[in-house]
Amino acid sequence: MSVTDSIEALRPLPLDAWHRARGGRMVAFAGHAMPVQYDGIIAEHLWTRESAGLFDVSHMGQLLISSAGADQTPAARALEALMPVDLSTLAVGGQRYSLLLNGDGGILDDLMITRWPGGFFVVVNGAMRQADRAHIAAHLPAGVTLTERSDHGLLALQGPRAVEALAAMGLTPALPGIVPVEQLWFMAAGPYRWHGADLHVSRSGYSGEDGFEIAVPTTAISAFADALAAHPAVRPIGLGARDSLRLEAGLPLYGHDLTPDIDPVEAGLGFAIARRRRAQGGYPGHARIAAALAHGPARHRVGLTIEGRLAAREGAAVLDGDTAIGTVTSGGFAPSLGHPVAMALIDATHAAPGSALVLDMRGRRVPATVVRLPFIPHRYHRQGEA
């Protein structure tokens, strides 16, 4: 079977023809054929930082967890038994980042949860879609159900002009009390309508920029993407730039920077462990995670700046002299900075910013320096910030 045939045999996105018509170069990713680039990764990366990039992330899993009847407390408790989130303080339209954990506190996936009037809307990584669905479903008590929203695609509009472009679409709030999309704050969401289609819009994303993620019925997604792409600020962006953007923003990628062997504290995600849950526990791996919070982890996820132009790849050994102290988990060229960067999981004793280390890159020893993450500042539209 040829490479082309194998790509064609993958599950197509709802916008498959849309991408191909715009010159998207399709590759295999998470069981789908997805566009890796259109005009070139660096050009698409810089466009997103300066204007607005449109990403198709319909490979992500969209799950609705709900209780029978109006009271969603049983659904909240079921989710809190699987992850260290506090859903008791999450208002309708509020969104949280959280982590699905195994019994030892290792990370099975990272995900986003939004409280909805009829339950909790959960977006999981595409590569873990089936495993997450099965894991969550197996742990739900009677009266709490999981429904996969397979009739919706998911788009991400990211960049400083994303709000301008989405506001121009004429979306209307679908419920009383929902603000116009341009008035949403970071990690806030709401139901909206566009030409009769019901949308779920959240002000969030994976680039470090201001932006939105928009769940769109598959019946309307092509027309919606056409209308967005017609705005002069918007261009379609592929997987390649999505990865370089998230790397510059210091955002971990599941299966690389996050795995079942890495706990949230090692990963630098202690903020995702809610204050109430730190004290009360009741989630998988609480003992291990509580110890790491109290005494510090043995390993840290850190940022590395790298001398020269050679990009570090996942798996490269991190050395202190001749002693291996860790491994690169993600690496690549940072277009906004003009040099390569990486993230690595290394011994805590070497994790202080400014520490001089060495990378073994295919037998070549390259100097690297530990730096604080993110590599570039986040530009989220947070409530209370200018």
Whether the pLDDT of residue 150 is over 70: the answer is: yes
Q: Are 378 and 206 in contact (CB under 8 A)?
A: no
Is residue 199's pLDDT more than 60?
Answer: yes
Q: How far is CA 381 from CA 59, 158, 180, 212, 215, in A?
A: 26, 12, 15, 11, 20
Q: What are phi and psi of 288, to 5 degrees?
A: -65, -45
Cβ contact 343:303 at 8 Å: yes
Count of other CB atoms within 10 angstroms of residue 232: 10
Q: Which of 94, 201, 208 is nearest to 154 (CA)?
A: 201
Choose between 194 and 117: higher pLDDT. 194
Structure tokens at 237: 């962006």
Q: How confident is the model at residue 3, as a pLDDT?
A: 38
Checking if the pLDDT of 1 tops 60, the result is no
DSSP type of residue 271? G
- DSSP category for residue 180: P
- What would the two tokens of residue 14 be? 């709802």
In the three-class reduction of DSSP (H, G, I as helix; E, B as strand; rest coil), residue 135 is classed as: helix
Q: Where are the alpha helices (DSSP H) in the chain?
A: 3-8, 16-21, 41-50, 73-80, 129-138, 162-167, 221-229, 239-248, 275-280, 286-295
Q: What is the pLDDT of residue 46?
A: 98
With 60 as the cut, is the pLDDT of residue 345 above it?
yes
Q: Are 332 and 244 in contact (CB under 8 A)?
A: yes
DSSP β-ladder status, 61-67 and 95-101: unpaired
| Percent share of the chain, pLDDT over 70 | 97
Confidence of residue 240 (pLDDT cuts 50, 70, 90): very high
State the average pLDDT over residues 283-303: 97
Q: State how far the Cα of 237 lies from the Cα of 125, in Å rounded to an integer.
A: 18
What are the φ and ψ backbone dihedral angles of 373, each rounded to 5 degrees? -90, 150
Residue 6's pLDDT band (cuts 50, 70, 90)? low
For residue range 53-100, what is the model confidence (pLDDT) as tens digits?
999 999 999 999 999 988 999 999 999 999 999 999 999 999 999 999
Instruction: Report, as an integer, the average pLDDT of 251-263.
Output: 98
Q: How many residues does the chain have?
A: 386
Examine the pLDDT at 5 and tell me if it is beyond 80: no
Would you state the pLDDT for residue 10? Answer: 87
Across 212-220, average pLDDT = 98
CA distance 370 to 191: 42
Asked if pLDDT for residue 138 goes beyond 50, the answer is yes
Average pLDDT over residues 222-245: 98
pLDDT per residue over 296-324, tens digit each?
Answer: 999 999 999 999 999 999 999 999 999 99
Mean pLDDT within 281-300: 97
What stretch of H or E contains 199?
A: strand 197-202
339, burial (CB in 10 Å: exposed 0-12, middle 13-18, buried 19+): middle
How does pLDDT run across 94-128, given as a tens digit for each residue? 999 999 999 999 999 999 999 998 999 999 999 99
Query: What is the residue-averaged pLDDT of the chain?
Result: 96
Dist. CA 266–CA 376, nearest whole Å: 21
What's the rounded mean pLDDT across residues 232-253? 98
Q: Does this model's pTM top 0.85?
A: yes
Structure tokens at 364: 């070549």
Going from the C-alpha of 37 to that of each of 41, 55, 188, 192, 242, the distances in angstroms are 6, 10, 30, 30, 10
Q: Closest Cα partner for 82 from 20, 144, 38?
A: 144
What average pLDDT does range 43-56 have in this prediction? 98
Residues 358, 366: Cα–Cα separation, whole Å? 5
- Map out the domains of the chain with their CATH numbers: 3-58+151-248 (3.30.1360.120), 298-375 (2.40.30.110)
Query: pLDDT band at 4, cuts 50/70/90?
Result: very low
* Helical pair 41-50 and 239-248, crossing angle rounded to 10 deg: 60
Query: Cβ-count burial of 273 within 10 angstroms (0-12 exposed, 13-18 middle, 19+ buried)?
Result: buried
Buried b or exposed e, range 167-178, using 16+ CB within 10 angstroms: eebebebeeeeb
Averaged pLDDT for residues 329-350 = 98
- Determine how many CB atoms are found less than 10 A away from the CB of residue 250: 22
- For position 117, what pLDDT does the model report? 86
